[in-house]
Chain A
């Protein structure tokens, strides 16, 4: 049955991000058809019992890497394994990152990812596109992706020097383009230049183990890049989404910027909320290497709690997993050099439980906020709302029945990934998905996972998501700068002698400007006024300064000099 089962979910407490209420839900054709008490439904409908449990919108994991190779290595868990694990943890939509290698086509990579996911994924998916080398030539592909392909979020790297890293100028140009297209700029925020230098230094010192990773990717380096990204986004008036907020100070920078009114969002990940970076110093190389991700887990043990509290108060908005699994053998590629260790941690399966255990069970967060940070906020930011992220008539039937009383202990032996190590090994979390419904089909019930490979659909997303762009649009109108109307300056003008040596800081020396950002009128200053040029009296020797050109009657226009 293509459209899924007919279902009635009975007796549960429906929890959306704004309110909770008791009602039954009737599902047909993969969408929610009715919500209420005493529903009139056809006969022969399957009944799902939710008494005493919460009925929540299925989770949305806004950051997974199930297909991007690193250093020639494919992740150990692909779209099938990954989405299977996601479903078992209560996540019914993933947003995977399309990593476009420098110099290759965005569209080709996108199609490749989409094909792979359509064949393998067991739950609905959407795609972010990672741009590893920005140039204006990408504009057309970007426009196609946004307008025709349903992608409205693009990731840029401020790290991975000489590989994926973008300069500030590139980011500014790219952000300006994204703003015009109505997309969201995402950044991997770490200062790649400093990391590169520190890595070299550490390798010289003979530090080759995974602890070198966390030492070279220090918290400050992350914080600095977050600060810079926000500054660039502010200047280009583009919404910004910071992926993988891993440290207290980086989160603080985001919180402060939001207080100043910036349109910026922060995403902590499962690992950052549940564990810390002390494991990098583990004597067991395989354990230490399993934690390698960028930005790294913070060695400060109070970080998870701090991030959770910012999540609870709304300063951070979305939780994701940044799932990217590499087996120990793959990680061992960097056994003699930590810079070669493929980066990535698991967390796709544990994400919802971690948030419930660390935030809701401890009383930091209520159940509605829980729904917001695990599902609704992501849906709103990335234009999937209210199709996803809400239990409402007409929404997709991605529904999770959440049992807050049950607990589970994480172990690599019992998880649904191929990975042989789980970074949460032995941790116990309260809150478990007891029933998972995706696209109207019950995929998890009574502890049994019953997924179909390739059943996931691609969810296209529209540009200009309201929650993000309403403010941006208003500011674009406000931000128009105005010049001062003045009379022409008609005083003396110092004559500039032709200097071969000094480089005049003219805008023309800065390479061709991005044509898409030049929306204003024709630049009047690129044509006439030459600083360096032969003058009539060049043959007369003279002192370096003080020739004043002020012909009788005054010169009407300086451009007549050329």
Chain B
């Protein structure tokens, strides 16, 4: 892919996608080769992202930087972990070749404030890698946006120059699944928006999409605002939010509409697990899917069969198994695959895009693969943990270690799982890599020390996400660098309607850029991580590939192992509904799938008379009435009123053959409901 620029050398073949949504006139394209700056290119190719800021106009202009930056009290950079990391990186001779060229920062001329509001940057000599192609080009950044991509760019003086020295320049990663504020029994994860986004940046991820997790009965809007407020104060990188729907009812609908239309949320999570807490029935799921489809949102599904999990948990506790191994034992792979299958079926019936969060097992992934082969609009998200480790650790003798792996669905004990998931990721059957980062300390996990069902669920992975995909997929030859960019960034941006603002290095996109070193090697350990958790589930694993330099909003936030992240610099990125990537096919299918009835003459034959007075109005309730008996649904059931299931007939005393009383009034009966 790297020699693409040669193929694209003639200017009349300028790829359309490099131009902005506003096409420039052909007369404007001239001289300097295809990637050079063109007169007027800044204006015409810059996407007006103000349009995306639905409902938040005037609240703040994202790029002005006028907002007060809450500086971290105490220098976060001088914190022990980062120091230790740097010293270890520099100190281990085998891992780092000092003589090798590395990214350098220098100023061409003049003086420019490093923390200046409108920093101008030029990334020189890098190989730009997008999801579709790679090419050598310089990238010029101003005001947090990519202004020019090309060779021999004409840039103003005083520009800070970053020498990429032939390394990969990739769009910053997007982690679509983090839970940095999801409380458990009143306790907060140890990684909040500050810790969590710091860890993200250190791993090359420049945007997260966090889950707003309200409790049943809470207002979704209020929860959303709480999350947004916290993130605005603390996040060091751009963020967006998914909203979890803890239960389905009429009130939720209004809030959802508001969230989609005014707040810039286009993805909502529903749960098929957590019985009696978050779990929805199939009917509720059907309604939720239908409603969210009308709004143009993407449905995220936590797919596990909660009914069966509850039963299994009870059984396993009954057997006296209380340790973390009870967690995977009560949540076998089949229950995940079953729920995925059901979610896809619902999605197909409603004709709604479905996004499966946390694909943890081979069979769940295969179910998604098969459904995609049949044309379902379904996306699958494996996470760092399922791609890099397995569930054997649940049987660890060390309780704290075993508990650290507790997440739902659990890591599969099958050790071939990570490899299989990487294969599917490489061939496009799975699309997005998340982390599901939700860090609880060991003392928090110990809430469940005598009952595994009480262990707070969550694992780390936001920092290690990109590294492990590189290490296990790209260096193994499963995946090329373009697909790497697709699964770590671009696909997520497309599915959640952030594209091309995020997920692409192109003129007009946000300057969230990572210079990636494919050869750096580090050993994961809790001592050197950004996360505040005291245990890292990838402890001791070696990971090849990592960021050398990370730009977020055009600012250098990570460089040579040093973080310069500033608390509160992250912006909320609103998202519009009806992302093309998910909804285009759905829209067409809507048109095709219009169901057609058969036009028939009216049936005018005899109609059997149904007894109007049912005998079994109330089925005699035995002493032990079912505790699980169905409550009448809130929606009026059109089919319950009119007929009896079995009942006394007026002429029961007359002996007769199995039944032939025909009522066919002259002129016919127009409507069967008149019988009631």
Measured CB to CB, the residues of A under 8 A from B are 69-78, 81, 101-105, 133-137, 161-162, 165, 167-170, 172-173, 191, 193-194, 196-200, 202-203, 205-209, 211-212, 215, 218, 220-221, 223-224, 227-228, 231-232, 234-235, 281-286, 288, 327-330, 332-337, 339-340, 418, 481-484, 486-487, 489, 491-494, 496-497, 499, 501-507, 509-513, 517-521, 523-525, 529, 531, 544-545, 548, 558-559
B334 in complex: contacting residue of A206, A231, A504, A517, CB < 8 Å: A231
A340 in complex: contacting residue of B337, B346, B672, CB < 8 Å: B672
CA distance A76 to B608 in the complex (A): 11
A173 contacts B321, C-beta separation under 8 Å: no
Please name all residues of chain A whose beta carbon is closer than 8 Å to the beta carbon of B444 when the two chains form the complex: 494
Please name all residues of chain B whose beta carbon is closer than 8 Å to the beta carbon of A221 when the two chains form the complex: 345, 349
B345 contacts A336, C-beta separation under 8 Å: no
Q: Kindly list the 10 A-B residue pairs having the minimum CB-CB distance in the complex, ordered from nearest.
A: A103-B619, A137-B624, A135-B626, A193-B282, A168-B307, A520-B318, A483-B321, A207-B597, A224-B345, A231-B338
CA distance A218 to B350 in the complex (A): 12
B626 contacts A133, C-beta separation under 8 Å: yes
| Minimum Cβ distance to chain A for residue B590 (Å) | 13
CA distance A194 to B312 in the complex (A): 26
B628 contacts A286, C-beta separation under 8 Å: no
Please name all residues of chain A whose beta carbon is closer than 8 Å to the beta carbon of B596 when the two chains form the complex: 207
B645 in complex: contacting residue of A71, A136, A168, A505, CB < 8 Å: A71
CA distance A354 to B511 in the complex (A): 69
Supplied contacts A81-B658, A105-B622, A328-B606, 4 more A-B pairs, CB within 8 Å = A72-B644, A220-B348, A491-B442, A503-B276
Q: Nearest CB to that of A253 among chain B residues? A: B341
| Minimum Cβ distance to chain A for residue B623 (Å) | 7
Mask of B474-515 contacts with A, CB within 8 angstroms, 1/0: 000000000000000000000000000000000000000000
CA distance A193 to B429 in the complex (A): 29
Please name all residues of chain B whose beta carbon is closer than 8 Å to the beta carbon of A518 when the two chains form the complex: 314-315, 318
Binds A, one of B146-154, B233-241, B294-302, B324-332: B324-332
Total residues of chain B contacting the partner, CB 8 A: 116
B286 in complex: contacting residue of A74, A194, A486, A548, CB < 8 Å: A194
B627 contacts A511, C-beta separation under 8 Å: yes
CA distance A221 to B334 in the complex (A): 19
A72 contacts B341, C-beta separation under 8 Å: no
B608 contacts A510, C-beta separation under 8 Å: no
Is B216 an interface residue when CB atoms closer than 8 A count as contact? yes
CA distance A218 to B345 in the complex (A): 10
| Minimum Cβ distance to chain B for residue A78 (Å) | 5
CA distance A168 to B310 in the complex (A): 10
Please name all residues of chain A whose beta carbon is closer than 8 Å to the beta carbon of B632 when the two chains form the complex: 162
B345 in complex: contacting residue of A133, A220, A531, CB < 8 Å: A220
Is B420 an interface residue when CB atoms closer than 8 A count as contact? no
Interface of B is mostly: loop
Q: Nearest CB to that of B305 among chain A residues? A: A168
B643 contacts A71, C-beta separation under 8 Å: yes
B607 contacts A333, C-beta separation under 8 Å: yes
Q: Nearest CB to that of B643 among chain A residues? A: A71
B629 contacts A135, C-beta separation under 8 Å: yes
Please name all residues of chain B whose beta carbon is closer than 8 Å to the beta carbon of A494 when the two chains form the complex: 187, 441, 443-444, 446-447
CA distance A334 to B282 in the complex (A): 26
18 sampled A-B residue pairs with Cβ under 8 A: A72-B644, A101-B645, A104-B619, A162-B637, A194-B282, A194-B346, A197-B283, A221-B349, A329-B605, A481-B316, A489-B449, A491-B442, A502-B183, A511-B628, A513-B314, A524-B322, A531-B185, A559-B450
| Minimum Cβ distance to chain B for residue A296 (Å) | 15
Is B215 an interface residue when CB atoms closer than 8 A count as contact? yes
Is B76 an interface residue when CB atoms closer than 8 A count as contact? no
Please name all residues of chain A whose beta carbon is closer than 8 Å to the beta carbon of B620 when the two chains form the complex: 103-104
Please name all residues of chain A whose beta carbon is closer than 8 Å to the beta carbon of B628 when the two chains form the complex: 134-135, 167, 169-170, 511
Please name all residues of chain A whose beta carbon is closer than 8 Å to the beta carbon of B320 when the two chains form the complex: 483, 520-521, 524
| Minimum Cβ distance to chain A for residue B313 (Å) | 6
Please name all residues of chain A whose beta carbon is closer than 8 Å to the beta carbon of B600 when the two chains form the complex: 209, 283-285, 288
Mask of B167-203 contacts with A, CB within 8 angstroms, 1/0: 0000000000000000101111000000000000000
Please name all residues of chain A whose beta carbon is closer than 8 Å to the beta carbon of B274 when the two chains form the complex: 505
| Minimum Cβ distance to chain B for residue A133 (Å) | 6
CA distance A483 to B321 in the complex (A): 5
Is B111 an interface residue when CB atoms closer than 8 A count as contact? no
Please name all residues of chain A whose beta carbon is closer than 8 Å to the beta carbon of B671 when the two chains form the complex: 336
| Minimum Cβ distance to chain B for residue A288 (Å) | 7
CA distance A286 to B397 in the complex (A): 69
A162 contacts B185, C-beta separation under 8 Å: no
B321 contacts A481, C-beta separation under 8 Å: yes
CA distance A156 to B181 in the complex (A): 43
| Minimum Cβ distance to chain B for residue A380 (Å) | 27
CA distance A504 to B642 in the complex (A): 42
B643 in complex: contacting residue of A203, A333, A487, A507, CB < 8 Å: A333
B447 contacts A496, C-beta separation under 8 Å: yes
CA distance A212 to B600 in the complex (A): 13
B186 in complex: contacting residue of A167, A231, A285, A497, CB < 8 Å: A497
Please name all residues of chain A whose beta carbon is closer than 8 Å to the beta carbon of B453 when the two chains form the complex: 505-507
B342 contacts A332, C-beta separation under 8 Å: no
Interface residues of B in 419-476 (CB under 8 A from A): 441-444, 446-447, 449-451, 453-454
Instruction: With a 10 A CB-CB cut-off, give which of A76, A286, A483, A506 has the most chain B CB atoms.
Output: A483
Please name all residues of chain B whose beta carbon is closer than 8 Å to the beta carbon of A519 when the two chains form the complex: 318
| Minimum Cβ distance to chain A for residue B234 (Å) | 16
A484 contacts B397, C-beta separation under 8 Å: yes
Is B41 an interface residue when CB atoms closer than 8 A count as contact? no
| Minimum Cβ distance to chain B for residue A438 (Å) | 22
B647 in complex: contacting residue of A72, A194, A199, CB < 8 Å: A72
A509 contacts B318, C-beta separation under 8 Å: no
Instruction: With a 10 A CB-CB cut-off, give which of B326, B396, B610 has the most chain A CB atoms.
Output: B610
Given A170-B628, A227-B338, A329-B662, also A523-B185 (CB < 8 A): no
CA distance A282 to B603 in the complex (A): 13
Is B323 an interface residue when CB atoms closer than 8 A count as contact? yes
A227 contacts B341, C-beta separation under 8 Å: yes
Is B598 an interface residue when CB atoms closer than 8 A count as contact? yes
| Minimum Cβ distance to chain B for residue A115 (Å) | 16
Please name all residues of chain B whose beta carbon is closer than 8 Å to the beta carbon of A340 when the two chains form the complex: 639, 642-643, 672
B187 contacts A544, C-beta separation under 8 Å: yes
A496 in complex: contacting residue of B187, B283, B319, B597, CB < 8 Å: B187
Q: Nearest CB to that of B622 among chain A residues? A: A137
B311 in complex: contacting residue of A81, A172, A481, A521, CB < 8 Å: A172
A167 in complex: contacting residue of B307, B325, B647, CB < 8 Å: B307
CA distance A75 to B341 in the complex (A): 36
A496 contacts B186, C-beta separation under 8 Å: yes
Please name all residues of chain A whose beta carbon is closer than 8 Å to the beta carbon of B595 when the two chains form the complex: 202, 205, 207, 215
Given A169-B310, A235-B334, A518-B314, also A486-B399 (CB < 8 A): yes
CA distance A499 to B601 in the complex (A): 63
B626 contacts A137, C-beta separation under 8 Å: yes
A101 contacts B624, C-beta separation under 8 Å: no
B349 in complex: contacting residue of A162, A198, A285, A481, CB < 8 Å: A198
A520 in complex: contacting residue of B186, B319, B645, CB < 8 Å: B319
Q: Nearest CB to that of A522 among chain B residues? A: B318
Is B85 an interface residue when CB atoms closer than 8 A count as contact? no
CA distance A71 to B642 in the complex (A): 10
A231 contacts B310, C-beta separation under 8 Å: no
CA distance A203 to B671 in the complex (A): 14
Mask of B246-290 contacts with A, CB within 8 angstroms, 1/0: 000000000000000000000000000011110001110111001
